[in-house]
Amino acid sequence: MTYSGKSRAEPDPSNAVAVPAPTRAEAEAAVRTLIRWAGDDPSREGLVDTPNRVVRAYREFFAGYAQDPVEILERTFEETDGYDEMVLLRDIRFESHCEHHMVPIIGKVHVAYMPHHRVVGISKLARVVEVYAKRLQIQEKMTTQIANAINDVLQPHGVAVVIEAAHQCMTTRGVHKPGVVMVTSHMLGGFRDDPTTRREYLAMIGNPSSRG
């Protein structure tokens, strides 16, 4: 099982090549180049401040590279009075960006785990989703990353993650098919091995595979 939750200071080992970050001036120059490529003049009034705005937006869009999900999940609580049933956080909205076309992926995540001696604050689960969403992504990888991070740190009896999302690389370009939702899942431990537990989880989130 692999885990790729490194911060900017520790490059993700899954990256083929680690390169130093460009300066802000270099990033803004790249935006001006793209504006010219699109056929417009980056020096005209309406666009002159666009490179600065885009760079600031990118800092927000991709803030997940500077955050470590392990640190988020490490503060846990052991006073559970033996609670070992499912903990489910449903409908966590997220916005990410497709690594192939750099256009938005917008959807929701359903995260569940079965505690083993300790639990984590539910806001931490939502923050882990945000860490991975605010990176260039494909939905399949993001689904696995969230589940593996929770499993590695909490070591629960099981983890389940389902993501439902619309990809603007499919709705605004290419085949132009609005309304299409992609569903991915990753099950570990009891959610993978026990069909009853898996069915309970799917019923609680509305069983996205049966919709439509």
Active-site residues: which are they? 98-101, 139, 167, 169
Radius of gyration of the chain (CA): 20
Instruction: Please give the Cα distance from 2 to 9 (Å, whole number).
Output: 19
Instruction: Please give the Cα distance from 152 to 68 (Å, whole number).
Output: 13
Instruction: Please give the Cα distance from 198 to 195 (Å, whole number).
Output: 5
Which tokens go with 205?
């989130």
Where is 204: in which H helix or E strand? Answer: helix 195-205
Phi (first) and psi of residue 183, to 5 degrees: -120, 125
Q: Where are the beta strands (DSSP E) in 103-205?
A: 104-114, 119-120, 136-137, 158-167, 182-189
Where is 89: in which H helix or E strand? Answer: strand 87-98
Q: Going by DSSP bridges, is the β-strand pair 87-98/104-114 parallel, antiparallel, or unpaired?
A: antiparallel
